[in-house]
Amino acid sequence: MTVAPTLAVASLRLDLGHTPILRGVDIDVMPGEVHGLVGESGAGKTMVGKAVLGIAPAGARIRSGSMTFLREDLIAMPERRRRDLLGRQIALIPQDPMTGLNPVLRIDRQMTDPLRLHLGLDRPAAAAKALDLLHQVRIREPERVLRQYPHELSGGMRQRVLIAMAFSCRPQLIVADEPTTALDVTVQRQILRLIKELQETAGTAILFITHDLGVVSKICDRVSVIHSGRILESAGVADLFDFPQHDYTRALMRATPRYDRPGDLLQPVPADLTARLIAEAEALDA
């Protein structure tokens, strides 16, 4: 393969204090690809995203492995370089649109700050660009929204603002951490469509974190399945659904409602499978 991955995570092991959280994570996100990271709550999905962005909580320590962004080492990267990349080349769409925006600052301030910082726009140009971005994410009355505070917007509107911000500097990579989980189902569908559309237009690579295989099937090109901080299986999205290799992937599918077969009974992931996976994962800690 000649094309370098936009993001390459290899054998990443990360402890929080003395607790292993990630136990060998391998993910390659190729340019223009939406790469799903799917797993149950507590699997370590958010921690992967935070490690990539360099915002892991205090006490987190990378034990081994590597992370590169366009061949550039993310782990040894100096703080200044990281600050320059974040927001410009690498962006985040956070999980919770309620808390991802600063409650006491107007939307225009929050949208124009990164534009001025990274694109060097002056105030009027940044304001014009912010307005344009809000149009792109199809927010009604964008002039008004710019003057508002986050609590005056609905959850879906806030998520649109955060999406607009994430795409605003045309980043190469976006980490989207459960961007639709906090939203209700109809809004969720619109937001997914919006992300996909912007992503295709801009050719952005996305690491798309979710616990929902249904969401994966709608937006992802490739998927990695994670459990207890381990990647169990990685495949193209069609292959994964047609020929799941790992027991856990199959169990996860049986636990996910399917739009094409709404009558199917859902089965939770069997406890003995979970116990086996945890035992396997802990065997790696020695």
Partner 1 sequence: MADRRGALVSAASDARVLFGAAVLLALIVAAAAAPLLAPHDPLEQDLLASFLPPAFQAGADPVFPLGTDSLGRDLLSRLIYGARVALTVALVAASLAALLGTALGLIAGYFGGWVDAVISRLVDVWMAFPPVLLSIVLVAIIGAGLHSVIIAIVIIDWTRFCRVVRAEVLVQREQDYVASAVTIGLGRWRILWHEILPNLLPLLLVLITLEMGIAIIVEAILSFVGLSVSSDQATWGGLIQEGRLYIHQAWWIMVLPMACIIVSVLGLNALGDGLRRTLDPVMRR
Residues binding partner 1 (CB under 8 A): 53, 55, 58, 83-88, 90-92, 94-96, 99-105, 113-114, 117-118, 149, 151-152, 162, 165
- Residue with Cβ nearer partner 1 (5 or 87): 87
The partner in contact with residue 224, picked from Mg ion, ligand ADP, partner 1, none with C-beta cut-offs of 5 to 8 angstroms by kind, is none
C-alpha distance from residue 132 to each of 127, 138, 165 (Å) = 9, 10, 11
The residue (of 59 and 203) whose beta carbon lies closer to ligand ADP is: 59
> Which range of residues in 5-13, 39-47, 78-86, 115-123 is near ligand ADP by CB under 6 A?
39-47
Of 7 and 146, CB closest to ligand ADP: 7
Segment lying near ligand ADP (by CB under 6 A), choices 43-51, 81-89, 241-249, 264-272: 43-51
The half-sphere exposure of 233 on its side-chain side, counting CA atoms within 13 A, is 19
Q: Pick the stretch among 41-49, 122-130, 137-145, 184-192 that binds ligand ADP (CB under 6 A).
A: 41-49
SS3 135: helix
Binding status of residue 42 toward ligand ADP by CB under 6 A: yes
User: Nearest Cα to 216, choosing from 225, 228, 227?
Assistant: 225
Tokens in use for 65? Answer: 């492995």
Q: How far apart are CA 129 and CA 137, in angstroms?
A: 13
- The entry of Mg ion, partner 1, ligand ADP, none near residue 53 (CB within 5 to 8 angstroms by kind) is partner 1
E strand or H helix at 71: none
Which CB atom, from 172 or from 210, has the smaller least distance to ligand ADP?
A: 210
Which of Mg ion, ligand ADP, partner 1, none does residue 21 bind to, with CB < 5 to 8 Å depending on kind? ligand ADP
Residue 185 in tokens = 């189902």
Of the two residues 56 and 191, which places its CB atom closer to ligand ADP in the complex? 56
- Other beta carbons within 10 angstroms of residue 253's beta carbon come to 14
User: Is 186 among the residues that bind ligand ADP (CB under 6 A)?
Assistant: no
DSSP 86-134: BTTTEEEE-S-TTTSS-TTS-HHHHHHHHHHHHH---HHHHHHHHHHHH
d(CA 58, CA 141): 40
The count of residues interacting with ligand ADP (CB under 6 A) is 11
Binding site for Mg ion (CB under 5 A): 46
